[in-house]
Structure 1
Amino acid sequence: MSWGFLAWLLPVLMGALLLSAGIQDVRSREIANWKNAAIALLAPLWWVAIGLNPWPGMAIQFGVALLVFALFVGAFAIGQMGGGDVKLIGALSLWLAPLHLLDMLLAMSVIGGALTLAMLVEHRVRCRTTAIEVPYGVAIALAGLLALREPLLNQFIQ
């Protein structure tokens, strides 16, 4: 198996895992740990497949992902996000270059805001009094899928 083939196969696998995580979050408001772990564990193979240098490339990638994970653990600690969502963001952060990660986080917040508004409207229309549980994994998965276009389409541009 050549690295070029892996450069296409790994993002496809990650995309399938993201779709699966988003669907599971809608159905059960949970994201399986094995999906987050698979996304995270495939990232080093991705780094090798795209020719990322161990130093400083892989170190920066890991450090930025660790920082993003730590920030979202703070959101979890104050009850603003679920644990599966935080783990999914952390795992996805391993895949994206810092600037593309910022784009993904921006897209995630816009999609998440729209999803929250839609759920709020649906909640009010149905006259529900329970707390709204937003499946934010959907926003994370969609933003991650949007971010996939960069490594897939631009890996050959020198």
Structure 2
Amino acid sequence: MPWTSAGLPHPAHPGAMAAMLALLALLCLLAAYGDMRARRIANRLCLAIAALAVPYWFALAGGEGLLTLLRHAAWALLLAVPLCALFAARLLGGGDVKLLLALALWIVPHDWPLLIVATVLLGGLVALGAALHHRIARSCGAPSVPYGVAIVAAALLVLVPVAKGLAVSLASAAG
């Protein structure tokens, strides 16, 4: 029986999932802050986000967690091809690519189009804000865009239905 709009099954360990989603949100916010502050997304944050996906999928799928994670990793490898092309064309930074691939382990593949569209739209807003800030500050050269902020915002937006479904699951278990 699906418990989210994404059609995910009833979680095996909803409390653990809630804790991991909260930790994911914290790690994402740290990545966005680092990108805003220094235009860098720390490798350790991307690695932590990717590593945290392992217990997340086990908490969701129980014994099927490894298979689910392997499917997500295979899809993420497919996503790596166009992301690396964007990096090679200097349209996306290396940290942005690593962050997107780490987050791809969390997001079901049929939600990736939403992730990409939301990232592009939010990235446009971030770019506009960076351009305005650049102009107001009367800085020289081209403005630098912290695209990780858009990536994080889009990923958290995509994960909202999962969090809502988890909240419903926890409430029904408690009541």
In structure 2, the partner of 1:57 is 68
Q: Percent identity?
A: 34
Q: 1:45 to 1:55 in 2, by over 3 A?
A: closer
Superposition pairs of residues 89-108 of structure 1, within 5 angstroms: 89-108=100-119
Q: What RMSD over aligned residues (CA atoms) do the two structures have, in Å?
A: 1.9
Q: Does 1:124 align with 2:135?
A: yes
Task: Give, in angstroms, the shift of residue 27 of structure 1.
Answer: 0.4
Q: Which of residues 133, 136, 147 in structure 2 aligns to 1:136?
A: 147
Q: Does 1:86 align with 2:97?
A: yes
User: What letter matches 2:13 in structure 1?
Assistant: W
The answer to whether the 8 Å contact 2:57/2:66 transfers is no
- Output the CA distance in 2 between the equivalents of 1:43 and 1:95: 6
Deviations 1:87-125 (A, max 9, x none): 000000000011222212211111001111222233334
Unpaired runs of 5+ in structure 1? Answer: none
Q: 1:122 to 1:4 in 2, by over 3 A?
A: closer
In structure 1, the partner of 2:45 is 35
In structure 2, the partner of 1:145 is 156
- Output the CA distance in 2 between the equivalents of 1:118 and 1:141: 16
Which one has a bigger Cα radius of gyration? 2
The answer to whether the 8 Å contact 2:119/2:150 transfers is yes
Moved over 4 A (4+): none
11-20 or 61-70, which moves further after superposition? 61-70
Task: Give, in angstroms, the shift of residue 136 of structure 1.
Answer: 0.4
Q: Which of residues 15, 18, 21 in structure 2 aligns to 1:8?
A: 18
- Aligned residue pairs, count: 155
- Output the CA distance in 1 between the equivalents of 2:127 and 2:158: 21
Unpaired runs of 5+ in structure 2? Answer: 1-11, 170-175
> Given the two structures, how large is their TM-score scaled by the length of structure 1?
0.88
> Given the two structures, how large is their TM-score scaled by the length of structure 2?
0.80
In structure 1, the partner of 2:120 is 109
Q: 1:55 to 1:12 in 2, by over 3 A?
A: closer
Task: Give, in angstroms, the shift of residue 54 of structure 1.
Answer: 5.5
